[in-house]
Structure 1
Amino acid sequence: MSRLTDLDIGASAVIKDIEDEKFRDRLRAFGITKNSQIKLKGYGFLKKVVKIEADNTCIALRKEEADKVLVEKR
């Protein structure tokens, strides 16, 4: 397993764990949960923002949030 921020742009992965319960609830509101398939769409300046796509929904996460997401590369 690796962190979401370790992925390269264009990489696909499956979410295996979200380490912060409050953040997990926030992602759940977007329909993103454990075992969701995601694709890393890009990074902002200095990797401070991470853009992901899950089920045709694109969202941006702060680096601090993305570091809490553990994924398995596909």
Structure 2
Amino acid sequence: MRLNQLNIGDEGIIRKIYAKSPLRERLMAFGFAKGEKVKVVKHTLRKNTFDIEIGNVNVALRGEEAEQIEVEPLIDGELPGKNPVKSEGRVS
């Protein structure tokens, strides 16, 4: 799924960035990298622009820029199909 397909409040993990230079370098300078968590804070009605939270910063992206980023959506903060490990307070 592409970042521009997420809705307001949705989160995802970056899996791949398809953008070429110089956009790729700009995204990386803002912290966009494989494995990073992103959240859609808001977007315009037609998804022409996005406010994306990554780390402790917010970055504005055009829709075509957000389309260059592949994400795996998170559901309730977890990857689908992954069961969170419950700690029993023991150290192995």
* TM superposition score normalised by structure 2: 0.74
Q: How does 1:32-51 map to 2 (within 5 A)?
A: 32-51=32-51
- In the other structure, the counterpart of 1:3 is 2
Q: In the aligned structure 1, how far is the partner of 2:33 from the partner of 2:52? A: 13
Q: In the aligned structure 1, how far is the partner of 2:28 from the partner of 2:19? A: 12
Percent same amino acid among aligned pairs?
Answer: 37
* Structure showing greater relative contact order (alpha-carbon pairs closer than 8 Å, 6 or more residues apart): 1
- RMSD, aligned α-carbons: 1.1
State the Cα deviation string for residues 4-61 of structure 1 (Å, max 9, x = none).
1111110110010110131221111112211110111111242110110011100110
Return the offset for 1:71: 0.3
Unpaired stretches in structure 1, ≥5 consecutive residues: none
Q: Which runs of 4+ in 1 moved over 6 A?
A: none
Corresponding pairs, count = 73
Q: When you count helix as a share of all residues, which structure comes out higher?
A: 1
Q: When you count strand as a share of all residues, which structure comes out higher?
A: 1
* TM superposition score normalised by structure 1: 0.90
Unpaired stretches in structure 2, ≥5 consecutive residues: 75-92
